[in-house]
Structure 1
Amino acid sequence: MRLNSIKPAAGANPSRRRVGRGIGSGLGKTAGRGHKGQKSRAGGFHKVGFEGGQMPLQRRLPKRGFVSLTRKDTVEVRLSALDRMAGDAIDMLALKQAGVIPSSALTVKVILSGTIERAVKVQGIAVTKGAKAAIEAVGGSVE
């Protein structure tokens, strides 16, 4: 079998519907658009969610919840990622240079996930209670 000889199964790609090509095509005259009305006309368009002047659903329902604008700027780092890093002093610049976090990250938080076997000095990074206890248990420090 060659890549250039592969073809889709018979009937898998039906030919596209040719509308407005005469009565014999089955889609002549109105071309499947029905009679009259905005959707039958060329350029007949209304915005998504428009309900003919009725108050649209997205405006009838109450607003709910909250999405933080800074969510994409915050990154979580596992303890196991700190364990794999070279060097004892770990700050945001060291994490970016090691490729652990993206360069666009503005805030970092170390979470208790995985294990850490060596003493590291964490500087200028947010750390959860559990992660802080785990770092200090192996002789490390959090500043």
Structure 2
Amino acid sequence: MELNSIKPAAGSKRARRRVGRGIGSGLGKTAGRGHKGQKSRSGGYHKVGFEGGQMPLQRRLPKRGFKSASLKYNAEISLTDLERLGAAEVDVLALKAAGLVGELAKVVKVIKSGELTKKVALKGIGATAGAKAAIEAAGGSIA
């Protein structure tokens, strides 16, 4: 086989439709555009979503709902989650490994929800004022 002998499979390529090339082609005179009207004229068409002057659907429907992209990167864990984890030192990687926060999480914060009895050292994790007090009361620390 040579590069100059390569051809596409039979029937896989079709000739492009040549419109406006005479009556014998089947697409002469109006070239498949019909008679009169905006769509038959050159340069005559309307933008996507245009409904002939009627208020378009995307403007008739109410605007609602928004999901912040930062939700993917920010995560919260509770004191109860820290208690269940049972690790002496906790960082973001340990929380990801335990499945407590998502893989995309970059910022993690501990909230005061539940009780903490074990001593826990947090590294690179934030905490609310109430959670910080609870962690320090249990003998833990936040770095």
TM-score, length-scaled by structure 2: 0.55
Paired with 2:140 and 2:93, the residues of 1 have a C-alpha distance of 19
Does residue 131 in structure 1 map to residue 131 in structure 2?
yes
Gaps of 5+ in 2: 1-47
Q: Following superposition of structure 1 onto structure 2, how do residues 1-143 of structure 1 map, counting pairs within 5 Å?
A: 52-56=52-56, 59=59, 67-143=67-143
Deviations along 1:48-96, one digit per CA (max 9) or x if unpaired, are 7x65424447548997897532112211101101011132111001111
User: Which structure has the bigger radius of gyration?
Assistant: 2
- In structure 2, the CA distance between the partners of 1:100 and 1:62, relative to structure 1 (3 Å rule), is closer
Q: Residue 29 of structure 2 corresponds to which residue in structure 1? A: none
Look up the SS of the partner of 1:75 in the other structure: strand
Which region of structure 1 is more displaced relative to structure 2, 91-100 or 55-64?
Answer: 55-64
Gaps of 5+ in 1: 1-46
Paired with 2:131 and 2:53, the residues of 1 have a C-alpha distance of 55
Aligned AA for 2:75? V
Count of residues in correspondence between the two structures: 97
- In structure 2, the CA distance between the partners of 1:126 and 1:56, relative to structure 1 (3 Å rule), is farther
Look up the SS of the partner of 2:87 in the other structure: coil
Aligned AA for 1:107? V
User: Percent identical across equivalent pairs?
Assistant: 54
TM-score, length-scaled by structure 1: 0.55
Paired with 2:109 and 2:130, the residues of 1 have a C-alpha distance of 12
